[in-house]
Amino acid sequence: MEERLFSLVLALLATEKGLTKSEILSSVQGYRQRYSMSGNNASLERQFERDKDDIRELGVPLETVDAPEQSGNNQNLRYRIPRGAYELPADITFSAEEITLLGLAATVWREGSLSAESRRAIMKLRSLGIESDEPVLGYAPRLRVRDSAFDPLGVALERHTIVTFAYLKPGETKPRKRTVAPLALVQHEGRWHLHGIDQDAGGTRTFLLSRFIDGVQLTARTFEPEGEDHAERALRELSEIWEANVAEVRVVPGTDAATRLNRRYGGEGPANTALSVHYTDINILADELAGYGPEVYVVSPERLQSAVRDRLLRTLANHDDSEPHDDTRHGTTQKREAAHG
């Protein structure tokens, strides 16, 4: 939904005289994929009406312009966002520090993943004889994602194409092939997830992109997604998992773990040693906590405590092959952890 609204705002800013409803539905990202030149677009038009209300609620000055030659014909109404009304008021100023921060933020909003979509929309508008102001493309955000799966999944989402990929679940030694109808790509707690319909399981599942192995393959099979707001639903489910899972940890004062974890979970006090840490994936949290070594001790849950201990033992084994790692050695490691609690 956010991408569709953003694309709509871009398109309406890019033209001086405005766009008709049919021009918007046939050219703007988020609408054009479902637009039919000769079919029934009633549901798409209802979506546009809802989007107009959402944009206005956000404070965007969306205007409706009646065509002088065909006054009263709703199909020829033109929609636009006047640039002057959208810009900041002249009496708003920023300090040097604020300008620096805005400048840093602006580096994220150039030549990004939406730029290709914006260019296609601009080309489509030109083909309709509509001139646009190209500098508006500079506002397209750049999404830096390390996961190579992101781009092909974006293509699959746009085309409603079923994909296959190898996925390695924690605790398994070999990846398994998954066949999924993608519904949404969402970012939660700084990590990208694919939400889709697992064709083998016969239900919706959420997959962490960092666990994809050997890329994503687009199949020749397509599907029609049912319902809307899949991204919102996926984020809500992830947030519910995050709220329900809480780990109790202790950190050694003055350490890197104390500084970093307090910033995220310690509230106002930077010197807290007992922290409640929410998480969605116990293995990701275990990886992070194990990276702090003796600076962190896991109080609960026991499953997380065991996962961190196992990672520490594997690290010890990788760096010291001179002694067997039996139960006695295991107990010694536990005492070391407890000593730093």
Interval 191-250: pLDDT, tens: 889 999 999 988 999 999 989 988 899 999 999 888 778 888 899 999 999 999 999 999
Q: Is 90 exceeded by the pLDDT of residue 181?
A: yes
Considering the entire predicted model, what is its pTM?
Answer: 0.53
Q: Is 50 exceeded by the pLDDT of residue 340?
A: no
What mean pLDDT, rounded, does the chain reach? 77
Task: Please report the DSSP string for 9-78 in residue order.
Answer: HHHHHS-SS-EEHHHHHHHSTTTGGG--SSS--HHHHHHHHHHHHHHHHTT---EEE--GGGTT-GGG-E
Interval 70-120: pLDDT, tens: 555 666 788 888 877 766 666 666 676 676 666 665 555 444 444 455 555
Instruction: Give the angle subtended at the CA of 15 by the CAs of 13 and 20, to the nearest 5°.
Output: 105
Specify whether the backbone of 164 is left (phi greater than 0), alpha (psi in -120 to 50) or beta: beta
Reading the block at residue 283, the tokens are 């293995």
Domain borders along the chain are 2-139, 150-228, 245-339
CATH fold, domain 150-228, is: SH3 type barrels. (2.30.30)
Q: Using CA atoms, how far apart are residues 104 and 64, in angstroms rounded to an integer?
A: 35
SS3 assignment, position 331:
helix
The DSSP code for 141 is P
Q: Is 90 exceeded by the pLDDT of residue 166?
A: yes
Q: Using CA atoms, how far apart are residues 64 and 277, in angstroms rounded to an integer?
A: 49
Q: Sign of the C-alpha dihedral, residues 325, 329, 334, 339?
A: negative
Q: Using CA atoms, how far apart are residues 2 and 11, in angstroms rounded to an integer?
A: 14
